[in-house]
Amino acid sequence: MIKKTSKNTNIAMSRIGKIKKKKSILEKQRDRTAFVFLLPALILILVFFITPIILSLRFSFTNWDGISKEYNFIGLNNFKYVVNDACFGRILLNTLYLMIIYVPVLNILAIVIAALIVNVKNKIGNFYKSVLFFPNLLSMTVVGFIWKLMYDYNNGLINTVFRKLKLDFLVQDWIGAKNLVIPSVAASIIWFALGYFLIIYIAGMMSIPIQLYEAADVEGATRAQKFFNVTLPLLAPSITINVVLSTMGIIATFDLPFVLTGGGPGYLSETLALKVYHYAFTNFQQGPALALAVILGIIAILIAFLELKILLKREDIY
Amino acid sequence: MNKEKSLKKSRSRVGTNIFLMIVAILVLVPLWYLLNNAFKTPQAMMLEPLIIRPQTFTFANIARAFKIMNYPKLLLNNVIILVISCSFLVVLGSFAGYAINISNNKAIKNLYIFIVLIMTLPFQLAMIPLVSMLKSMNLMDSFFGTSLVFTAWSLPFVIFLYTGYMKTIPKELLEASIVDGCGLFKTYVYIYMPLLKTITGTVLILRGVHIWNDLLIPLVTITKSSMSTLSLKLYSFASTRITAWDLVFGGTLLVVIPIMVLFLSLQKVFIQGIVAGAVKG
ipTM score here? Answer: 0.87
Q: How far is B163 from chain A (nearest CA, A)?
A: 12
> What pLDDT is attached to residue B5?
61
Facing B95 at nearest CB: one of A40, A128, A137: A40
> What's the rounded mean pLDDT across residues B109-133?
91
> What pLDDT is attached to residue A1?
44
Angstrom distance (rounded) from CA A25 to CA A304: 42
Spatial neighbors of A274 by CB under 8 A, at least 6 apart, are A254, A257, A258, A262, A263
What 3-state class would DSSP assign to B57? strand
Residues 32-71 of chain B with CB under 8 A from chain A are 33-34, 37, 45-46, 49-50
Contact A254 B252 (CB under 8 A): no
Facing A132 at nearest CB: one of B24, B125, B281: B24
> What's the rounded mean pLDDT across residues B37-51?
77
> What pLDDT is attached to residue B273?
77
Angstrom distance (rounded) from CA B110 to CA A42: 13
CA angle B38, A196, A142 (to 5 degrees): 25
Report pLDDT digits (tens) over B6-42: 666 677 788 889 999 999 999 999 998 888 888 888 7
Q: How far is B99 from chain A (nearest CA, A)?
A: 4
Given a contact cutoff of 8 angstroms between Cβ atoms, the answer to whether B230 and B192 are in contact is no
Contact with chain A for residue B111, Cβ under 8 A: yes
Given a contact cutoff of 8 angstroms between Cβ atoms, the answer to whether A259 and A141 are in contact is yes
> What pLDDT is attached to residue A16?
55
Please say if the pLDDT value at position B85 is more than 70.
Answer: yes
Cα–Cα distances (Å) from B103 to A27, A141, A305, B99, B204, in that order, read: 8, 42, 29, 6, 26
> What pLDDT is attached to residue B264?
84
Report pLDDT digits (tens) over B140-199: 999 999 999 999 999 999 999 999 889 888 888 888 888 888 888 888 888 888 999 888
Rounded to two decimals, what is the model's pTM?
0.88
Instruction: Tell me which chain B residues have a C-beta less than 8 angstroms from the C-beta of A304.
Output: 120
In tens digits, what is the pLDDT along chain A, a chain of 318 residues? Answer: 444 555 555 555 555 555 555 557 777 888 888 899 999 999 999 999 999 999 999 999 988 887 777 888 888 888 999 898 888 999 999 999 999 999 999 999 999 999 999 988 878 888 899 899 989 988 898 899 899 989 988 888 898 889 888 888 888 888 888 889 999 999 999 999 999 999 999 989 988 998 998 899 898 888 889 899 899 999 998 999 899 999 999 999 999 999 999 887 888 999 999 999 999 989 888 999 999 999 999 999 999 899 989 988 887 766
Instruction: Tell me which chain B residues have a C-beta less than 8 angstroms from the C-beta of A160.
Output: 49-50
* Mutate: best of B35, B125, B182, B255, partner A, most A CBs <10 A: B125
Please report the number of interchain residue pairs, chain A to chain B, with beta-carbon separation below 8 angstroms: 269
Dihedral angle at the C-alpha atoms of B23, B27, B30, B35, nearest 10 degrees? -110
Contact with chain B for residue A305, Cβ under 8 A: no
Angstrom distance (rounded) from CA A298 to CA A60: 13
More reliable by pLDDT, B44 or A281: A281
Angstrom distance (rounded) from CA A5 to CA B45: 101
Q: From its phi and psi, is residue B107 left (phi > 0), alpha (psi between -120 and 50) or beta? A: alpha
* Mutate: best of B13, B47, B120, B209, partner A, most A CBs <10 A: B120
Contact B281 A157 (CB under 8 A): no
